[in-house]
Amino acid sequence: MKNKKSLLKRLGLGLTSLITIPLICIGIQLYQNNYSRPLTDNPEMELANVRKDLKINKNLKINIDYTSEGSYSSKNIDNSYNILLDFDMGRNEAGLRHELCHIKNGDLDKIFHYKLSERAVYFLWAEPRATICSLGGN
Ligand SMILES: [Zn+2]
């Protein structure tokens, strides 16, 4: 009986985490989108500055561009990376830092999007870690 109660407590804590951690991340990202320094019209210069600040490996090839199709980063077959930052949501220093943190942490080197458990790891670990990492900028 005691084990059943303990299991229910853990299940409740797990479900609460599944809801609150992504909500906190979304809240931080919305706040950053309004108050972080907007990036200039020179994305390569912005990338170089933030990349230096985050001490990203100099050997990694990273391409950057602005878009109107959402902000995200991806890894190419030649091991280079792309960062696309949306004009409305993410074209700011925090957005750039967030995507660079995903690259720095190796989040794009793993496949997170196929199994439910991988998605959970992404939303409960990789996304909060990138969000916290992005807090260091202006
Ligand atoms: Zn992210």
- In sequence order, what are the beta bridge partners of 84? 65, 72
Residues of the chain with pLDDT under 50: none
- pLDDT, residue 137, reads 62
Going from the Cα of 95 to the center of ligand 1, the distance in angstroms, rounded, reads 9
* Contacts with 22 (C-beta within 8 Å, 6 or more apart), sequence order: 123, 124, 127
CA gap 81, 95 in Å, rounded: 16
CA gap 8, 92 in Å, rounded: 42
Question: Domains in the chain: how many in total?
Answer: 1
pTM: 0.85
Going from the Cα of 102 to the center of ligand 1, the distance in angstroms, rounded, reads 7
- pLDDT, residue 1, reads 62
Going from the Cα of 85 to the center of ligand 1, the distance in angstroms, rounded, reads 12
Strand residue runs (E) in the chain = 62-67, 72-75, 81-86
Residue-averaged pLDDT of the chain: 90
Which 8-state DSSP code applies to residue 39?
A: P
For residue 107, which amino acid is it?
Answer: D
Going from the Cα of 42 to the center of ligand 1, the distance in angstroms, rounded, reads 22
- pLDDT, residue 4, reads 82
Find the domain containing 103 and state its range: 2-136
